[in-house]
Amino acid sequence: MSNQIYIRPQEYMPSNATFDLNALVRDNVRRMKPYSSARDEFSGEAEVFLDANENPYPSPFNRYPDPLQSEVKRLLSPLKGVTPEQTFLGNGSDEAIDLLIRAFCEPNRDSIIITEPTYGMYSVCANVNAVRTISLTLDQNFDLDLSLFPALNDPSLKLIFLCSPNNPSANLLNRERIIQLLEQFQGLVVVDEAYIDFTTAPSFTTELSKYPNLVILQTFSKAWGLAGLRLGMCFASKEIIAVLNKIKYPYNVNIKTQELAVEALSNKDQKDRWVKEILQERTRLIEALQGLTITQKVYPSDANFVLVKVTDAPGIYKRLMNIGIIVRDRSNVRLCDNCLRITVGTQRENDKLIDALKQIVS
Ligand SMILES: *Cc1c(COP(=O)(O)O)cnc(C)c1O
């Protein structure tokens, strides 16, 4: 050992010095004893397993899955620059969203902030749990307007959900403004990065050691091509992750999902090739859309979809639907008057869409 003085992460004094996770967790969650499964009590190698009342006869699924998905997390660690202890895996990001609300928000008392237009699950999960949603509106560029935020020291305000790149507007939120919220808010700032693979901007995982109140959501549903598996990632301090693990279903991610995720992570090149093609197609789609007379505005995209303002979104949506092309009509969503949200497809699919849109004009 040299005489060099190491500053351990715990000793680093973040600007958010008064952050107190224990005070933030609901009383019942802090006090409860978690369910302890057979696989929690013994998880090593053995010859004979008679501890979980499983069927002993061979079938691919006669055994319960690893409750903490250690193999998946081991492969994720170097890719994401986080430790397995800073990683929660769930049945889609949706499970993490639900657990965050259930762990930190007292029903009929606490509230969350969302910035609309945004992903619908934050307020749905809040509603299910009788948690109030304070809905702010993004500015005309779909970016954060910090002047709209209420007093951040309100003790009943527990979570701020930010989506960056945002769904349905496809843009990144301003990084400095997110940092400002992280520094000023004593609750958790959740940054949903479902579309992070489609932007060159760095993930907020790079900020985890600085901000004890930062939570990041990512997913296998978009770039990884595994929406049908249902596997979501949540990255945060090991203390926050421990809270989520305490209240999750013991075996929340099944064996097949864990195996297929390991396979996907071992073949990361496939994901990278898909992303590269999607980005090329995104550029081509945006250019084609810009050339149409029905197009009023194509919003910039850091995601695998494009938001486009057209002359008559419901009408164009119906005409596309009638010929078997389904896009998302977002015209009833705040700030999205006459907007369609179009996922970037394969080259052939995008060609079909573009051809169809040209026909609609003529
Ligand atoms: C698609 C999407 C997700 C993914 O949710 P899963 O439950 O992981 O499939 C999460 N957040 C946003 C904003 C999304 O658009």
pLDDT tens digits, residue range 1-60?
Answer: 344 444 343 334 444 557 999 999 999 999 999 998 988 898 889 999 999 999 999 899
pLDDT tens digits, residue range 222-233?
Answer: 999 999 999 999
Output the pLDDT for position 39: 86
Sites in the chain below the pLDDT cut of 70: 1-17, 361-362
| Ligand 1 pocket test, candidate residues 216, 220, 222, most atoms within 8 A of CB | 222
Domains annotated for the chain, with CATH where assigned, are 4-266 (3.40.640.10), 269-361 (3.90.1150.10)
Nearest to 181 by CA among 25, 15, 20: 15
Output the pLDDT for position 193: 98
| Omega of the bond leading into 56 within 30 degrees of 0 (cis) | no
Q: How far apart are CA 194 and CA 170, in angstroms?
A: 11
CA of 2 to the centre of ligand 1 (A): 47
Q: How far apart are CA 307 and CA 276, in angstroms?
A: 20
Q: How far apart are CA 212 and CA 255, in angstroms?
A: 32
| Ligand 1 lining (C-beta closer than 6 Å) | 92-94, 119, 163, 167, 192, 194, 219, 221-222, 227, 232
DSSP per-residue string spanning 143-182: ---GGG---TT-TTEEEEEEESS-TTT-PPPPHHHHHHHH
Structure tokens at 155: 């003790």
Output the pLDDT for position 14: 47
| Omega of the bond leading into 58 within 30 degrees of 0 (cis) | no
Asked whether the CA dihedral 340, 341, 344, 348 is positive or negative, the reply is: negative
CA of 194 to the centre of ligand 1 (A): 6
Q: Which residues pair with 297 in a beta bridge?
A: 309
Output the pLDDT for position 6: 42
Q: Which atom of ligand 1 is nearest to the CA of 227?
A: 9
Q: Which residues pair with 342 in a beta bridge?
A: 306
Q: How far apart are CA 353 and CA 345, in angstroms?
A: 9
Q: Which atom of ligand 1 is nearest to the CA of 118?
A: 13
- State the DSSP code for 84: G
pTM of the predicted model, to two decimals?
0.94
| AA letter at 281 | E
Nearest to 257 by CA among 12, 72, 29, 35: 72
Output the pLDDT for position 293: 95
What is the DSSP pairing of strand 328-329 with strand 188-192? unpaired
Q: Are 206 and 196 in contact (CB under 8 A)?
A: no
CA of 236 to the centre of ligand 1 (A): 18
What is the number of other CB atoms lying within 10 angstroms of the CB of residue 54?
14
The proportion of the chain whose per-residue pLDDT surpasses 90, expressed as a percent, equals 91
- Which residue do the tokens 């149409």 mark? 292
CA of 94 to the centre of ligand 1 (A): 7
CA of 105 to the centre of ligand 1 (A): 21
